[in-house]
Each structure stands twice: as structure tokens, then as C-alpha cells.
Amino acid sequence: MFMKTTDVLRCAGAAIAIFLVASWVPFFRPLISLLTSLLFLYFASKSGRLQGILIVAFSLLIISAIAGLLARTDIIFLFVESGLIGLVLAELFRHELSFGHTMLWGTIALLAFEVLVLYLFSPSGDASPLELFLETGRARIKAFFAIFEKTESAALNDQQAQIMIKIFEQIYPALLVMGTAFVIWINIVFSKIFFLRIGLKYPDFGALDQWFAPLSMVWITIAAGFASFFAAGSIKFLAINLIVIFAAIYTWQGLMIMMCFFNKYRISIWLVSGICLLIFFQGYLLLVLTLAGLFDQWIDFRKLRQPAVKNPEDDFE
């Protein structure tokens, strides 16, 4: 047998229960998406590569059939995406890659899936993925500002709204990448809690407060900075989005620097939570974290990079 009947029934039954909740309570769909990803990740990790793929595929077929009967085909994408996340992360966990590589390949796989979906279901088949991303972004931004137009206390006028739309149009690909990376990250974080609780093997990513971005990335950041000022057209567009993505990565590195010192001096979890909330709501503190992450490439605040050991044979004195 390729599949264990009990695993198929358990996975499909749990997926159906989650599907029904998603149909009746749309507000909880983000949480439901996470639960579904963890469900598929569990069975894909527990059952092995081939059986995991078959179990997830069979469960998705059942969900698709039920969604068709209930005329709720809009939810199918959510479950297919969750299935992909579960299968991809299970495969990456098997290879025991580093945290950075797990994030990288997980994000690439999910982005590739989103691009494929845009190609298959977009009414304008000749549009490039970038154009499809921008069309989706414009629609969402305009829908957001339409809410303010109906309120009397709205401070945004049409001119300000257009400026905001142009800004978001410029960085929407970066926001899409960051949003996709966040989905992968939150699945990695919660899967650790889930796996350790049920006794499944979880990859050893080491101490995340010791994490730092590749040193070569800083030169790409500098080149992108110059290109954003002196280049034009597609090159400038690409440079701006690279800067936004790298800024998010360096902000994460800055956060890890902060957490390293908090752990070193055993700061209370309540105080740490309060500081993190303060940083989240204060933009200039986020900028400080970003700059700390960037300059850590040279300063090495945590003293992670050991100096090269001198070879005694090189000393001719």
C-alpha cells in the first residue's frame, strides 16, 4: 500500500473540519491557513516523501470535491497553497538546511506557485508576472482607500491617495516577497512548537540570535542604492524593491542582535515583549534596528566572527 488508510482518513477528516470552519467564519482564514499548513506538514513529515505527497493530494481532492458541491471554490486556493507549504517545508526539514536556506527555498517555492496561479487564472494571459502583481496591488490599494472616502473624518484627499498608490505600486513586488517570506517564517516557528509537542523530529537551526545575513549582501545593497538614484526604468524599479527586501532582512538581523543581548543578560520575557511592541509601533526604532543589522556586517556587535588565527610559520622573527 502506498498510503495508510488511517493517515488518509485522519488528514482528510481534519482538513474537512478546517474547511467547514473557513467557509462559515471567513474572519479566521489566516489562522485556518496556518493550521492547514501545519496539518499537511505533520503528515508529510510523519509518512515520508511519497506517502506524504499522496496523502496531501488525496485530501486536497476531497476538499476540492466538497468545495465544488458547496459552491465555495474560492477557498480551494487557500488549501492548495497550504498543502504546498506543508510538502515543501517537510522536504526542507528532511535535508536539515540552515534557517536562512530553509526560508529562502520555502519563499521561492511559494512565490513560484503564486506566479503560476496568476498566469493560469488571470484574464489577461499576455501580461507578465510583474504586471499581474501590479494589477493586483492597484486593485487592493484602491479598495483600501475607498473605505476612507466613505467616512466624514477621513484626512486623506484624492491627491494623497494617488501618492500612496504610486508608492505602493513601486514597492508592491517587494511587499509580496516579504509577505510570502512571513508566511514561511510563521510556519517554521509554529511547526517547532507543534513538532516538539507531538515528538516529531525538528531540524536544529541553532541559536537564531546568532543569525546574520551573508556578508556579500551588503555590496548588493550598496549597488542597489546607487542604482535607485542614478538608473531609470526597470533597473531603478528593481533596485528600489531590492532595497526594501534587504532592509527587511537587516531589520531581522538587528532584531536578532537585540535578542542576543537580551538572552545574554537574561532580560525578563515581559520586558522583552514590551520593548518589541514599542519597536513595532515606533518607526524610528525599526530604522535603528535596520541600521544595526546593516552595520553589523562591519562592526560585528555580537563578536560572532572570530579573527583569523596567525600561523607561527609566517613569523620570521
Tell me the percentage of the chain whose pLDDT exceeds 70.
Answer: 79
Tell me what percent of the chain is helix, strand and coil, each rounded to the nearest 5.
80, 0, 20
pLDDT of residue 148: 59
Q: Could you state, in order of their start, the residue ranges of all structural domains in the chain?
A: 208-302
3-state secondary structure of 72: coil
CB contact set of 187 (below 8 Å; sequence gap of 6+): 34, 37, 38, 41, 85, 89, 106
> What secondary structure letter does DSSP report for 311?
P
On the question of pLDDT at 236 being above 70, the answer is yes
Question: What average pLDDT does the chain have?
Answer: 80
Q: How far apart are CA 210 and CA 304, in angstroms?
A: 7
Contact 39, 86 (CB under 8 A): yes
pLDDT exceeds 70 at position 15: yes
Burial of 272 (0-12, 13-18, 19+ CB in 10 A): middle
Give residue-wise pLDDT tens across range 127-167: 666 666 667 666 766 666 666 555 554 555 566 667 777 77
**Residue 2 confidence (pLDDT) above 90:** no
User: Helices 76-95 and 158-198 meet at what angle, rounded to 10?
Assistant: 50
pLDDT above 90 for 24: no
| Cα 132 from Cα 116, distance rounded (Å) | 11
Min mean pLDDT across 38-42, 59-63, 121-125, 189-193 is at 121-125
Torsion angle of the four alpha carbons 182, 186, 188, 190, in this order, in degrees rounded to the nearest 10:
180
Selection from 181, 208, 26, 211 nearest residue 104 by Cα: 181
The pLDDT score that the predictor gives to residue 28 is: 66
Say how far apart CA 233 and CA 174 lie, in whole Å: 16
Average pLDDT in the 100-129 region? 79
Neighbours of 71 (CB within 10 A): 8
What confidence score (pLDDT) does residue 314 get?
44
3-state secondary structure of 2: coil
Q: How many alpha carbons fall within 13 Å on the CB side of residue 76?
A: 17
Whole-angstrom distance, CA of residue 264 vs CA of residue 26: 42
Any idea what the Cα angle at residue 119 is, between residues 115 and 120, rounded to 5°? 120
pLDDT, tens digit (0-9, with 9 covering 90-100), for 35-78: 888 888 988 888 888 888 888 888 888 888 887 777 777 777 88
pLDDT of residue 312: 42
Q: Do residues 38 and 93 touch, judged by C-beta distance below 8 A?
A: no
**Mean pLDDT for the stretch of residues 228-257:** 88
C-alpha cell at 84: 504546498
pLDDT of residue 156: 52
What radius of gyration, in Å, describes the C-alpha atoms of the chain?
Answer: 23
pLDDT exceeds cutoff 70 at 307: no
Strand locations in 90-186 (E):
none
CA distance 246 to 147: 32
Residue range 288-311: average pLDDT? Answer: 75
CB atoms near residue 189 (< 10 Å): 11
